[in-house]
Amino acid sequence: MKRYLTAALLLLLAIPAAAQSVRDSVALATARWQTTPLGDGAEARTTQVELFGAPQHLALVIYPARAFTTRVVQVEGRGRIPSRIGQEAGAEAAINGSYFNMREVEPITFTLSDGEVVNRGRMHNSPLSNGVVAARGRKGNRVEVFPCDSTDYARIARRYRQALVAGPMLVHEGREQRYDTEDVIFTRRHPRTVVGTRPDGRVVLLVIDGRFPEQAAGTTVAETAYIARQLGLTEALNLDGGGSSSLWTRQEGVLNHPTDNRRYDHEGERSVPNGIVVLKR
């Protein structure tokens, strides 16, 4: 966004990502999704599909932002598993949040919840903290995803009521982003968590499973950006992934296969300090 000019410094590192194969495009376009209506135009979807020469499992929730309240929830103590965060909030859906110190289960990125700055962030400006998901107003029904850096936090706190910083930005202004780094966080396949927006005002919460070679290989950052764009996201942000990745709905329970129990089931959620919850208005 033009009003966040400092974010441009981080996006100078990003260039449009190279297209994946035609086979991958066709696979996503023709994937068979199991769909569960969640009411008020929202739905949950899951699919098993072959992408990038490997099996992948995708789970997502898509909802019209104006019909729901989107909140950032930070919990005290040793964190909560995302499904419990959602249940305690009375939510229709919940997804894990941003990065944290695993020893203390303490968040390390800027967090704004219900108009209060609950964490000022300890990460240096980097691609892992170059974006934010934010919601305006008391009803939290206008959700935006955009680039930022630490110099933007004060303005974000004034303008928005909910905000969570993470990274890297995967898609910006409809263009996939590529990062010139050999860091394994970017180049190796892992479970991934994504939040993004479509031009029609719908929000997508997405988890790509991983670390199960026979069922779900996971994706690199570039592959994650490709999936996000193929799903119609014009802005998309990578949240904390790996063992933290978890997506829950009140109707269906945990949709993906969290990895902390090292079994391909729905029971292996990890306790996290914050999450994004979606509530009926």
Q: Indicate the angle between helix axes 221-230 and 22-29, nearest 10 degrees.
A: 50
Upstream peptide bond of 147 is cis (omega within 30 degrees of 0): no
CA distance 82 to 87: 9
* Distant-in-sequence, close-in-space partners of 79: CB < 8 Å, separation ≥ 6: 100, 105, 271, 272, 273
Q: Bridge-partner residues for 131, per DSSP?
A: 147, 166
Among candidate residues 238, 231, 207, the one with its CA nearest the CA of residue 83:
207
Q: Classify strands 42-51 and 131-136 as parallel, antiparallel or unpaired.
A: unpaired
Q: Could you read off the pLDDT of 53-101 as tens digits, one per residue?
A: 999 999 999 999 999 999 999 998 899 999 999 999 999 999 999 999 9
Q: In what order do the strands lie in the sheet with 142-147?
A: 116-119, 111-113, 162-166, 131-136, 142-147
Mean of per-residue pLDDT scores for the chain: 93
- pLDDT the model gives residue 138: 86
pLDDT-flagged residues of the chain (< 70) = 1-19
Among candidate residues 220, 237, 210, 244, the one with its CA nearest the CA of residue 101:
244
CA distance 75 to 275: 9
Q: Could you read off the pLDDT of 14-48 as tens digits, one per residue?
A: 433 444 788 999 999 999 999 999 999 999 999 99
